[in-house]
Structure 1
Amino acid sequence: MPDTKHIALVLGASGLIGKETLNLLLENNKYKTVYAITRKPLGITHPKLTEIIADMSTVDEALKELQVDHLFSAIGSTKSKTPDKKQYYEIDLEYPLKVAKSLHQNGCNTVCLVSSMGADANSSNFYLELKGKVEEAMQAVGFRSVHLFRPSLLLGKRKEKRFFEQLGKVLFPVISFLFIGKLKDYKGIQAKDVASAMVNVATQGNTGVHIYQTQLIKELA
């Protein structure tokens, strides 16, 4: 009896990890249909891909009857792009949570969330606090499987330049030999490796809440 093929949805498909995740899902024969929520067309044509053009104000209606198995949430803003903290919360927390609740209500059982190393809802750092709250909110939705990915410095080609990431890309190769033992989690990681690990764990069907730091992500990629 052939394995049942999955249906996935990617939130944040135009971003660094989201784009890699989308490409891997389209190439993976374990997935028969892949949806991507975007504000504007991605410019990709693939027989398995269906784009859903929506934003926070219209996404509820767009997802009202949509049934998927796996949600891959890789959406996120930056302080430079979204200096207003209220808008930052809307993009990083309220929007993905709204999508997650809609999909879960329609039968989605698995979520893979791109978070951040150091995510902590009680952190004094705004970014880490926000990521921690997103993690907590996703766990509260009721998914059978929750996979939280906490990568360190992300490596890959972005549309926009991020100063500290650019600096890290220069420095980390020079000092990478220092990151041994527990410090391995501080090494930079390719966005494609994060995407690959997410797709791999989603198809394994393990239930419960799972947290993945950089080194484990690399091993699962």
Structure 2
Amino acid sequence: MNVVVFGASGMVGHGVLRACLLDPAVTRVLVVSRRPLGISHPKLHELVHQDFTDLSPLAGQLTGLAACFYCLGISAGGRGEADYTRVTYDYALAAARTLCADNPRLTFTYVSGEGTDSSEEGRTMWARVKGRTENALLAMPMNAYMFRPGYIQPRHGAVSRTPAYRLLYTLTAWLYPLLHRIAPGHTTTTEHLGRAMLAVTRPGTADRRILYSRDINRLGA
């Protein structure tokens, strides 16, 4: 199985990339990013590209793919809606449209978040934009799955690119086992998330299109 990963340099993308490289069913992992990851692996191939609103220059290299693991995203903190929409909605839809054109049986997995607003009308900006993105992806002619994790504990060297989140994860790492026991339906790890995203590429594995932490932990166990 050949797959592509967007956002592999981020915390969630790191977990997904690791899961792909470890899974014997995955034969080739293509990463699309703005800069090289700085790692090497026999399965890993990288495409460096700057404009994520237009992937047409890469179209000929994004073929023969069974799945896309879309983990690219930014924090909404300190950003206006237009800026956040460009990265969250425009980038994701550009990737999906380009991939669908040449990969008619593609499975597209998108990392959203617990609290995403499917109505697109709530007061919380990030939740509205994520909801709009999910709705657009689910309407496209592909096997799309929306992942809505709550708290994600980084594992195996995964690091958040947001300084405040990095500090939070560092300070609370020792609390995660207790937190997971108290709220198992709202907590997961980058390891479970990566394996769960791979799991939905297998027919009949997932019985719903929107998946929460409890589903992620079950599929990624």
Q: Same fold (TM over 0.5)?
A: yes
State the partner residue of 2:189: 190
Pick closer, same or farther for the CA change 1:59–1:172 going to 2, 3 Å: same
The C-alpha deviation readout for 1:8-27, integer Å capped at 9, x for no partner, is 00011111111111121122
State the partner residue of 1:19: 14
What is the aligned counterpart of 1:176 among 155, 175, 179? Answer: 179
Offset, 1:65: 4.9
Q: Distance in 2 between matches of 1:83 and 1:62?
A: 29
Look up the SS of the partner of 2:145 in the other structure: strand
State the partner residue of 1:9: 4
State the partner residue of 1:44: 39
Unmatched runs of 5 consecutive residues or more in structure 1: 1-5
The C-alpha deviation readout for 1:62-111, integer Å capped at 9, x for no partner, is 1245211101111110134x623222111111011101111111015211
Q: 1:185, 1:214 within 8 Å by CA — same for their partners in 2?
A: yes
Offset, 1:138: 0.7
Equivalent positions of 1:68-87 (< 5 A) are 68-80=65-77, 83-87=79-83
State the partner residue of 1:3: none
Q: Distance in 1 between matches of 2:175 and 2:62?
A: 43
Look up the SS of the partner of 1:141 in the other structure: coil
Give the percent of matched residue pairs that are identical in Structure 1 and Structure 2.
23
Look up the SS of the partner of 2:35 in the other structure: coil
Amino acid at match of 1:85: E
Offset, 1:123: 2.1
Q: TM-score if structure 1 supplies the norm length?
A: 0.84
Offset, 1:216: 1.5
Look up the SS of the partner of 2:209 in the other structure: strand
Amino acid at match of 1:115: S
Instruction: Say what the alpha-carbon RMSD is for the aligned residues.
Output: 2.6
The C-alpha deviation readout for 1:168-189, integer Å capped at 9, x for no partner, is 937965973884xxx6423x32
Look up the SS of the partner of 1:202 in the other structure: coil
State yes or no: 1:109 paired with 2:113.
Answer: no
Q: Point out the more displaced range, 131-140 or 53-62.
A: 53-62
**How many matched pairs?**
210
